[in-house]
Amino acid sequence: MRSLASILFATDFQQASNDALNATARLATTFDSQVSVVHVMESLSKGVIVSMREEQKRSLMVLVRRRLEEQNVKIARYCIEMGSIASSIIEKSLEYDMDLIVLGAGEQKHPKGFSLGPIAEAVITHAEPPVLAIRPGTPRLDFKKILCPVDQSSTSARGLRNAVRLAKIFGSEIIVLSVVSEVSWLTAAVETGELADAKAEYANDWVQEFDKFLIGFDLADVCWRKEVRYGLPHQQIVASANEHASDLIVMGTSGRTGLVQVLLGSTTRRLLRELPCSVLTVKQDDLLEDAFDNDIRNIASHLAEAWTAFSAGNFIPAIVKYRLVLTRNPFHLAALEGLVASHAKLGETEEAERFRRRLESARRVAHPHLDSTEVAF
């Protein structure tokens, strides 16, 4: 994607979609994205509408729109379609030129697991834009710990690139995981050209290749660590996500070992019921372009200059710099706090109160379970 300017939120009005709505709001307010909401009513062969009547669903759509608007989300459009659910979602993503699709990933089956669901699986498999599938029972996606499985392919490099960019925005920790797959002696011998200790040599070559792969990424400003595991990729991905309490897995949708195909394969569908977190898959385009990295650096620079001006009692220049931050992120908490404090120092009580309201609204988006607190100047 060129940027995260547009998000398609697909809802079925169930609990998983409610959780996905919160994730949509978090991303939209962070990146100042416009959101299009779609609900697809699947019909039977005789044209009978499944479940609720259309009028009821339109009422629910209004409630969804209201919930998003209450979280300061800009709505581009919302619609109710009829037809195949997965196909309609994919078609709308193309029609609206969406940068990201967000949807709930099935239903909670038991306290410790869930089923991905055939609709989420079909959208992940066939959609062109990146897809964020939200795990049921995830009221808030915090992006605290991102697990990024790689197999040293260019596709998995795309996944890691996106994970790094998200981590810079949300202050996440990244675990970069590479799994040394179980292979036969013959495969190992062919790969390494060694006959004696072929499997050990294969594993050693894989780890060295993993280290070389990581050199190509700018991880200096990111909290990260690498991890090597041995065994079946899908099992080790799930085990790593569980052990690290990851709240998001980011990966490309193909690669040398076909990580997503492994996860979605029929033989491993059972393990998906225990996948403990949401999944972001990136197929062709990056979630965030390189230009967004420049925004991060510009924001940091403006904040530093604003704080220097504020500390020296130069409140008007500080206001200018804080406002520049808001042009890139309208809900940046530190910038809003600085504007409240700067206007208060100048005795501009109305402006201070206006930005205080914006700050409280932004805090509710960032921390919906916490009460607003006063700004200390």
More confident residue, 270 or 180: 180
- Do 302 and 260 share a structural domain? no
More confident residue, 236 or 369: 236
In-domain check, residue 375 = no
Residue 74: φ, ψ to 5°? -85, 120
Give pLDDT, residue 263: 57
Give pLDDT, residue 246: 93
Q: State which of 235, 261, 288 marks the end of a domain.
A: 288
- Do 200 and 135 share a structural domain? no
Q: And the tokens for 262?
A: 């492994």
In-domain check, residue 254 = yes
Q: Taking residues 231-245, what's their average pLDDT?
A: 88
Q: State which of 120, 139, 158 marks the end of a domain.
A: 139
**Contact 116/107 with Cβ under 8 angstroms?**
no
Which ranges of the chain would DSSP assign to H, the alpha helix? Answer: 15-31, 54-70, 85-95, 118-126, 154-170, 185-192, 198-215, 233-244, 259-264, 269-272, 290-311, 315-328, 333-345, 349-366
Residue 372 clears pLDDT 50, i.e. is over it: no
Q: Rounded to an integer, what distance in angstroms lies between the CA atom of residue 7 and that of residue 38?
A: 11
Give pLDDT, residue 331: 72
Query: For 240-254, what is each residue's pLDDT tens digit?
Result: 999 999 999 998 876
Name the pTM for this structure. Answer: 0.71
- Do 259 and 134 share a structural domain? no
Query: For 96-153, what is each residue's pLDDT tens digit?
Result: 889 999 998 866 555 555 667 788 888 888 888 899 999 877 767 888 999 999 988 8
Q: Which residue range(s) make up the domain with 125?
A: 1-139
| CATH classification of the domain holding 173 | 3.40.50.620
Q: Which residues pair with 115 in a beta bridge?
A: 107
Q: How many domains does the chain have?
A: 3
Give pLDDT, residue 110: 56
In-domain check, residue 317 = yes
> What's the per-residue H, E or C state across 115-130?
ECCHHHHHHHHHCCCC
Q: What is the DSSP string of 193-234?
A: S-STTHHHHHHHHHHHHHHHHHHTS--TTSEEEEEEEES-HH
- Do 300 and 274 share a structural domain? no
Q: Which percentage of the chain shows pLDDT scores above 70?
A: 75
Mean pLDDT of the chain: 79
**Closest to 2 (Cα-Cα) out of 130, 125, 95, 127:** 130
**Contact 158/251 with Cβ under 8 angstroms?**
no
Q: Rounded to an integer, what distance in angstroms lies between the CA atom of residue 176 and that of residue 197?
A: 27
- Do 213 and 88 share a structural domain? no
30, 76, 99, 355, 368 from 33: Cα distances, Å: 8, 9, 10, 21, 19
**Contact 177/227 with Cβ under 8 angstroms?**
yes
Handedness of CA 103, 107, 113, 116 (dihedral sign): negative
Q: And the tokens for 20?
A: 């996905």
Give pLDDT, residue 245: 92
Task: Of 204-208, 314-318, 325-329, give the lowest mean pLDDT range.
Answer: 325-329
- Do 257 and 162 share a structural domain? yes
- Do 103 and 42 share a structural domain? yes
